[in-house]
Structure 1
Amino acid sequence: MKEWIVTEENNLKDFTDSHDPQASFFFDRLLKAREIKINGERVAAGGSRTLLKSGDRVCYYLTRAQEEMTAFDTMYEDENLLVTDKADGVNAEAVYETLARERGAQGVYFIHRLDRNTRGLMIFAKNAACAEELKRAFKERDVEKTYLAVMKNCFSADETRQTAYLAKDAARAEVRVSGKPSAGAEKIVTGFQPILKKGDIAVCEVFLHTGKTHQIRAHAAFLGHPVLGDTKYGDKALNKKYGKTRQCLIAKKITLRFSGDSPLAYADGRTFVSRYGFEEYGALPV
């Protein structure tokens, strides 16, 4: 049995997501089976947003098989950096909370997020100085990130680097992309390189030249090549055809770039590669 004591007001789903990456895999299943208890009382099947108060006790059971599933792996760690490889279905905050519990609150620093249903690499800092340097590097695009995505149809040769404008729609918790500037919209640049075509889908390498919320998914959909399995911006018919309910998107590769006076200069040029891929569609390059 896993047991958690609530320390501040929250709802059940957000609390579980931020505290236990293993439960992130199985939350919907646990809830549907009424396997989650709050203060000894079973939560209703539709109670994902049940309000939790400070002092509440949240309990649930995971089977041995569920416990053994890997929510994330630590790929690399030194005195300054920690690199993890996250599974899809796992909330990024839960990865951070787990690392923070293991190392203490000052032993790991949250640098960047990864969508719950996107697999792949996340980098954390292990001290304040390196956290500041990593945040600067991400902001100034000194960190080179390559994604893999399965997308509808394929790009032609002149579509590999695309510019558009993205605006957040907070009320709907999504973003809107257009081809022209507009009030509140920010310029986005995304590179798409098809590496494998198969029928009406293609596996593409995707390069972020800017980094905005949902940029890859929303930009790809705007261009008519939505990410397979994307339930927010994607093609429902295509998702149904292939039986995909999570976006086929992987944060595949990260290369670090730091100058000689950086506290992370020793990591300049270091590349990390996720273990995840789309081998089911054919042999892919690393």
Structure 2
Amino acid sequence: MGKKRIQEILEFDVKEEVRLDRFLASAYPEFSRSYIQELIEGGYVLVNGLLVQKPSKKLKVGDRVILLVPEPEKLELLPEEIPLRIIYEDEDLLVVVKPCGMVVHPSPGHTSGTLVNALLYHVKDLSSIGGVERPGIVHRLDKDTMGLMVVAKKDEVHRSLSEQFKERKVLKLYRALVQGVVSWDYKLVETSLGRHPVDRKKFAVLEEGGRYAKTEFFVKERFPKHNATLLEVKIHTGRTHQIRVHASALGHPIMGDRTYGFRSQGFSKRLIEMLGECHMLLSYKLGFFHRGEWLEFEVQDVEPFASVLNYLKEVF
């Protein structure tokens, strides 16, 4: 990464021992961890006044980290004419429904067909925070999860939304269809989540290390005939795969989520075909502050979640 003009200087105090890249990704969530690593290696980070170019450098309590934020690179991603369901839009942001199967932003192996490619076709300008590969992206949903996402057009709005996510001021409600008939009506799960010690593509509940994660589960309806339950889920933190890991830890994996324990045995062939590759996890309600006003959005008719739920409700 060549040196660019510095548009902002940010300073942070370290309060616990942690890797440099992990610290900055947490302290400044507007940037992805991979982009943070690029900035460190490119010479944009100082620790106690000294240039540090190793993302893995261990920080100590009391260290001061300075991040030199360079001017954003010109976006080079190609717009793609992909259908995009927009349920709200103004000059600052838009709220979209991400379908199952769509990756949010480009990454190795997913260089086209992403939400970002679709946004670039439908929207003239997107915020530049987050680097070249993630214009406008404030938060994410897993590829096979569906539902509401807010996308920023302007950097100042992006920062405001990111701060709300960080401070847990955003309302995020999900609906989940899980395997098994749940015996409880309510469950609060508070654990530490981190990379799985063996399978590095997965996350797991950890006894030591990891990051705090809090999820509330509310039973909405049980389907004994189909061995399934509809849950409402409220997350208070936004850890990767959080709902999926917590549901699996309770013994009720998300339907369709084979990574975290869903098994098709015992379900009808028709139901398995309806699931396809999707996880029955829907981000159905999203609320946040915008220009001093509380905005709240809700969506229920996202496929295949809606069809699977209707199928489970059929009376035989």
Per the normalisation by structure 2, the TM-score is 0.59
AA matched with 1:87? P
Cα contact 2:254–2:281 (8 A) shared by 1 = yes
Q: Distance in 1 between matches of 2:296 and 2:125?
A: 27
Q: Distance in 1 between matches of 2:126 and 2:278?
A: 33
Of the three residues 184, 203, 222, the one matched with 1:175 is: 203
Partner of 2:256: 229
Which runs of no fewer than 5 residues in structure 2 stay unpaired?
1-80, 106-113, 128-134
Cα contact 2:84–2:118 (8 A) shared by 1 = no
Cα contact 2:126–2:152 (8 A) shared by 1 = no
CA-CA distance at 1:158 after TM superposition: 6.5
Cα contact 2:185–2:218 (8 A) shared by 1 = no
Partner of 1:87: 99
CA-CA distance at 1:105 after TM superposition: 5.2
After superposition, give the CA deviation of every residue in 1:171-212 in whole Å (9 maximum; x if it has no partner): 63110114xx41x22221111111110012101001101110
Q: Which has the higher helix share?
A: 1
Cα contact 1:146–1:252 (8 A) shared by 2 = yes
After superposition, give the CA deviation of every residue in 1:105-149 in whole Å (9 maximum; x if it has no partner): 546611111111111011001111101000111111111100011
Of the three residues 157, 162, 165, the one matched with 1:138 is: 165
Secondary structure of 2:245's counterpart equals helix
| 2:117 pairs with 1:97 | yes
Q: Percent identity?
A: 30
Ranges of 4+ aligned residues in structure 1 off by more than 6 Å: none
AA matched with 1:99? L
After superposition, give the CA deviation of every residue in 1:193-238 in whole Å (9 maximum; x if it has no partner): 1111001210100110111000001111011011111020022244
Secondary structure of 1:96's counterpart equals helix
CA-CA distance at 1:159 after TM superposition: 4.3
Q: Distance in 2 between matches of 1:116 and 1:239?
A: 26
Q: Distance in 1 between matches of 2:139 and 2:247?
A: 21
AA matched with 1:172? R
Of the three residues 222, 247, 250, the one matched with 1:197 is: 222
Which runs of no fewer than 5 residues in structure 1 stay unpaired?
1-66
Cα contact 1:195–1:205 (8 A) shared by 2 = yes
| 2:242 pairs with 1:210 | no
AA matched with 1:225? H
CA RMSD in angstroms comes to 2.4
Q: Distance in 1 between matches of 2:182 and 2:163?
A: 32
Aligned residues: 205
Q: Distance in 1 between matches of 2:285 and 2:153?
A: 21
Cα contact 1:71–1:90 (8 A) shared by 2 = no
Cα contact 2:214–2:235 (8 A) shared by 1 = yes
Partner of 1:253: 285
Cα contact 2:99–2:146 (8 A) shared by 1 = yes
AA matched with 1:193? F
Secondary structure of 2:97's counterpart equals strand
AA matched with 1:78? D
Secondary structure of 2:160's counterpart equals helix
Change (3 A) 1:148 1:172: same
Per the normalisation by structure 1, the TM-score is 0.65
Secondary structure of 2:261's counterpart equals coil
Secondary structure of 2:102's counterpart equals coil
Of the three residues 270, 273, 281, the one matched with 2:312 is: 281
Change (3 A) 1:158 1:87: closer
